[in-house]
Amino acid sequence: MFQQYSIVLVNLDPTVGSEIQKTRPCVIISPDEMNQSIRTLLIAPMTSTSKPYPSRIIVNENSTIALDQIRCIDKSRIIKSVGSIPTSSVSQLKTALKEMLVD
């Protein structure tokens, strides 16, 4: 089962325009209830390019979550599970998502 805040390796190709492309780690942001019930997941790609956007969450010196690139993917795009983000990043991610989508 795929769990919220897990990091999975995802094949994001094909892409169009400015979408983040290629195979890369992504954070699952959809809730577990959704992840169990349907064949798609909401993910946010991770990148090593750290740009000072409010929609980017720095996980460590090499990894940033790009919330400005959220997308829905079919579970068949997932290659493997590679871990999860730290608790401190979960808090930052929740705050950023609320600011982006709710407030």
* pLDDT, tens only, 27-78: 999 999 999 999 999 999 999 877 778 889 999 888 999 999 999 999 999 9
pLDDT at 57: 92
Contact 9, 41 (CB under 8 A): no
Contact 43, 70 (CB under 8 A): yes
**Once rounded to an integer, what is the mean pLDDT over residues 67-94?**
95
30/8 Cα distance (integer angstroms): 13
pLDDT band for position 93 (cuts 50, 70, 90):
very high
Domains of the chain and CATH, by start: 6-101 (2.30.30.110)
Place of tokens 């959220």: 70
- Going through 12-92 in order, the beta strands assigned E by DSSP cover 23-28, 40-47, 56-60, 63-66, 71-74, 78-84
